[in-house]
Amino acid sequence: MWDSTKTIMAALAAIGLAMAFVAGQTAEESSAKKRNEAIMADKLSALSTERNALLAETEAAKQAHIEAKATVVALRDKLKSTTTMKAADDADLRLYRRIANLDDTETRGLFVDEVTMSKDFESDDVSLNILLIQTQGRNRIRGSVGATILPDTGKPIKIIESSDERAPDFNLRFFQTVHIPVPKTKGVMDELEIHVKPTDKAHKPFIYRIPWKEIERLR
């Protein structure tokens, strides 16, 4: 009987030791897991902080690039505008000098001084630029302008008539440039007729003719 009791007690003690060992192992594993989780959390936090810093630097660099590009575009536009204004001012100055130097034999009231052709490279549209000048008096002259192309062969090509309500008008005291869009044409063009129709009785309507090749040369 006593031996059986000893055996049972020894077995219970062994079981107790085993359970204590298992509990110790479980506690140690749990502690190690928590330590690993804490380490991983710290690494993830550091990576997140580094990622946010990189994103902030990327956004700052992107914004700096946008601002630099905008500055370059603004400077380029300003340079283009300044160059255009200077060219226009120079052209106006030359025109004023030419008007001032006209003698009595060249004083013709209202007349066409120059016809050029320009092309819009974005739309590919072509326009006639007709410079009108008044050298007699200072009263304003109003009216409209038409244009007709005379081909080498075939019928005249009427761009627009001066009597058409869509015809470009002018309202000038000294000079004004009138613009007329030019349609696409085929074949050989011989001459251009500019029809000027003032509305006042002091100036009569007139037709100005210029060889087409001279206009194309000035494009």
Q: Domain boundaries in the chain?
A: 1-101, 107-217
Q: What is the pLDDT along the chain (219 residues), one digit of tens a residue?
A: 556 676 766 666 667 666 666 566 666 777 777 777 778 877 778 878 888 888 888 888 888 778 777 777 777 777 666 655 655 565 666 666 666 666 554 556 889 989 998 888 777 788 999 999 987 777 899 999 999 999 988 889 999 999 999 999 999 988 899 999 998 877 788 999 999 999 988 889 999 999 998 887 655
Residue 94's pLDDT is what?
Answer: 64
Residue 95's pLDDT is what?
Answer: 65
Select the CATH number that applies to the domain covering 107-217 from these four: 3.30.930.20, 3.30.2020.30, 2.60.40.1200, 3.30.420.240: 2.60.40.1200
Residue 210's pLDDT is what?
Answer: 94
Residue 199's pLDDT is what?
Answer: 93
Q: How far apart are CA 78 and CA 84, in angstroms?
A: 10
Task: Give Cα separations from 55 to 43, 47, 59, 69 (angstroms).
Answer: 18, 12, 6, 21
Beta strands in 120-188 (DSSP E): 126-134, 141-151, 157-160, 169-172, 175-182
* Nearest CA-CA partner of 215 in 193, 186, 184, 200: 193
Residues, the chain: 219
Q: How far apart are CA 157 and CA 187, in angstroms?
A: 12
Contact 200, 171 (CB under 8 A): no
Residue 92's pLDDT is what?
Answer: 64
Q: How far apart are CA 106 and CA 94, in angstroms?
A: 17
Radius of gyration of the chain (CA): 45
Q: How far apart are CA 219 and CA 127, in angstroms?
A: 10
